[in-house]
Every structure is written in C-alpha cells, then in structure tokens.
Structure 1
Amino acid sequence: MSTQKTPVNNTPLTEEELDHFKEKLNQEKRETETTIQELRDSLDSLNSTADDVQSSQDHHQADLGTKENRKATILKKIEKQVEKLDQIIVALDRIETGNYGICIDTGEPIQKERLEAMPYAIRSVVAKD
C-alpha cells in the first residue's frame, strides 16, 4: 500500500470546480484516445504500404530512410500521447481520492490558471521548475 503525501479530501477546489475539471479531463481523455488511434492507424497504413511496395520492387535507400523517419516520428507521438493519457487518468483518480489540485511535491494548491491550461498537472509551477 502506497502512502500519499497529501491527505484524502484535501482539495482546495469546490464541488463545482471539481466537476468542471473532471469534464475537462474526460474531454482531454477522449481527444487523446482518438489521437492515439489515428496515429496507430497512420502507422499501420505506413507499414502496409511499405509491405506492398517492397514486394513489387526494390527500394531506393533514401525512400527507406524517409519511411523509417516517419515511422519513428509517429511512434514518438504515440509515446507522448500515451504519457499524456496516463497523466489524465492519474488526475481523474486524484479527483476521486480528494487530492486533485494539490502539488505532489509541495502539498500546496496548484494554481487554477495552471489547471485550466493543463488540467492533468500534478505539480505547481514552482515545483515543476
């Protein structure tokens, strides 16, 4: 069992504010899941067209490099989106446990402006630097 740095129900936010951020987080979650799926579809498409072309002709070395670069770029984007999705899920869990809006490092409230810009933030601006 892990220990939490901040007690349960320690959020400085009202129920109304929590509902607002929960909706923002759920919207971000849906958008992020859609982005991940679109990136995976792009990668699948790139892989299948590469297979078709490879079977019909020899590849020029530069073409192979370009395709590999595109694959690497897509994979990196997927990785970043999966990390974001994980952060969103953590933030939603923190709403449920009453710790949303509290910096995990300092125990101080995270600025509402920061949460509006990045609702899955778990650190205040001071702690992140």
Structure 2
Amino acid sequence: MKIRLALAATACLLAAACSTTTPPPPPPAATNITRQMSTWDMSTEYTVEYVADGFMLTMNYRYPDFVLRRSTAETRCRSVATSIADSLAERRQRPIAVPAAQQIQTVTQRKWTGAMATCAAVAHVTWRQ
C-alpha cells in the first residue's frame, strides 16, 4: 500500500512539474518603467523605447523546440532581436546600424529538463548616419 501511495505522489508531482510554466527572466538592464509588450510571433514579445539616436529594444523569446547549448540559444535570440530591429527600422523608413552580437545583452533560462526555455534580450539600436 505504501508503494502505491508513493507512486501516486510521484506521478502527481511529475504532472505538476510538467504543467507549470517558467516565467520569462527579467531583462538584463531592467528599468523601473513597466511597458506593455507587443507580440512579434507566437514565441516573441518586445517593447520599444525610442531615444534621440535610435531605440532601445527589449525582447522576450520562448524557444519552441529543444535547444540544449547556450551558444546556440544566444545566437538564435540575437538573430530574432536583429530581425525585429530591422523590421522596426523599415516601418520608420530609416536605416539602422546593425548591432553587433556584443551589443545585444542576453539572459537565458533553462527548463527542468535541461533545455533552454526562454531568453530576454536588450539592445540599443542606433540610426545610421
């Protein structure tokens, strides 16, 4: 009887662990201002704050597939941030200086399975002169 109870408790805990979602990590350079995030696609949300020389892009990205290596996850996160920046510049009809990989600050978070779950990125994108 004790074994069945232990198995039932373990199954319940595993079901609860699988059903809970991991909240996205805070952006690396979080400000005190909370902004409404816009949806880019099913996995990406972003906010934009326009400044004199360009804009600050803050992005949260959820990995839709199984990514294990941190370098692969950060590369994908940076490429999504760059594509959002390109799209925003195209809407404004102004060219941007493409931010280098070192200029995009990223924070990744893992799931309990070891795969990457989310990435938060902050980039200062400047207009090209």
TM-score clears 0.5: no
TM-score, normalisation: structure 2: 0.28
TM-score, normalisation: structure 1: 0.28
**Which has more strand, going by share of residues?**
2
Relative contact order (alpha carbons < 8 A, sep ≥ 6): 1 or 2 greater? Answer: 1
